[in-house]
Chain A
């Protein structure tokens, strides 16, 4: 199993990138009021057929050729099953895929949040050309991050320069902390 929620999401986003997505939208929405955490990854990749969607949480389903197992989505299903939650996968060939996982926020088996700044940094580093939007919220408070905005500010300098990546990691984690503090 994955050590934290950020690593779970990293696996799902890597699937989006492998599916050729140009835009990936990640939402992590905590609600103290309804005692839930909703995590969603929406992409405009090549999508999956209905049949593939049905079998995608099976660990022996994978599109890869180097080995015969695919664990990212099965792990996420394991997490939602264990934490009073639900997993929904909507996909259309040629349009994209949306994976939504919902869990009970105070469930004893829920792993920690992990490092979302690092997770986004790794995604950007692995897929510079892909635009990644990240939204984090606690009830009505929000933090938004968009690589398109960053790329505009950088005017041609690569977003994958190591100094920039480290800055992004810090910027996101600061933003998350701020939202959490307001929420208290």
Chain B
């Protein structure tokens, strides 16, 4: 069977499965819609959390990033898993004991203030929308490459599917769909990883394969180091980021992970406090299966990419003899080639091949059939002792998707990867949309604007909000802001600087009051946003970084400012009432979570 037919079958089959589950598990009450009735088994919740968490960024982009930056990419691996340790020990069990539906619920009640609640709602909505835009884009990329439809049609198709199970099923539908999506995405990631690892090293597990010794007598990593240095890149296992920047960036990713509303809300769906801890443990196991495979996939992909493009004799491969994946991705605009030295061969090395790094394609084809570009590098030159000037642009995002093709794996593996990428993007999008609609229907409508609405009306508002959010998300998918990566840094920065500290203080400090919490959230939010906007969108120069901390890592500084200002202000204002202090004491004791649940 052809790859196209197989891809249709795999993606179509998985969609049918998700829709079937959505119909089986549709929600009837607000409690089912928001927290799946609070009765999800910890293992199922762990899988759903893992699918919710592992987005298009984890599935599609992360291995690509590591493949290109080597050790510097470790911050993502540690940050996006280590955050779960903080979540399990510092937040999840206590928030579950508190027994409400949302993060703004906790902030509003614990700090007895609708101002605090509204700031939390604002943070939730900004963080979640930022995220959702990236997911829809991921779906679009996969559809346009594999189904040969327009990116826009792909996004619309994805919207329709998410609409169906998020709006109908609410949290209950999403949870059980995510369990299925986890199974699809983990198979789709590990199967090609096993193949790649076995093919290159003879070991099935990429976790072991990455340390294996090749036929040349060199280990995989040593080979990668020497290949990289030869072509003018830094050695793969060396870092280029400063230690302080690495630390701050990793903290921002960890605390950001622990403070992401769509992840936290998953822990409200289990029956007991004990289960909240256990499901964090399951979630991290399920996440670790993928995350520990990523470095292997990244390394093998890099070796394959360099060897395929530069050829066995390391002089480049004639364009007309390049394998079909190269041309397919060129058609999608994610690979570009300009024959700087006019030898008809494709050569890959360090340095930009195009002015401004990315190719700008024009109409028509060149003498070898390649796409024409309007911005070749003015004075192409070999850099850092590389044997030739770089002639290729390879988008990092294609590594995972192109890997099976580069390695000549069977057609069904390629189809499986496409289905997995779509599952990763859709499961995360659905979780985020639910959080947005809950924030609007529950925290804004019910708790702030009109407390008299009935359960049924609230459910209607939640569904309406989900519909509107899907449309906005779809708009961003079709007209992506040109700065998705920067905006994602903003989402983590905000979660780290605002949501995480306010929750932590609400649990661990009985003395923390409204004034302190509101000041802290605002200080964290404003300082982080200002820093990111100045350096990412207004062209601030990296030379002016505060202590060399990049905008991606500034959320950590925002968090420190948040803590400092919150404690300062609360020490000058009255302590919270005895009832509030009793609430804090109560959430610290596991027993009795069941009764606290209904609201």
Q: Do A and B bind each other?
A: no
Residues in B lying within 8 Å of A, measured CB to CB:
none
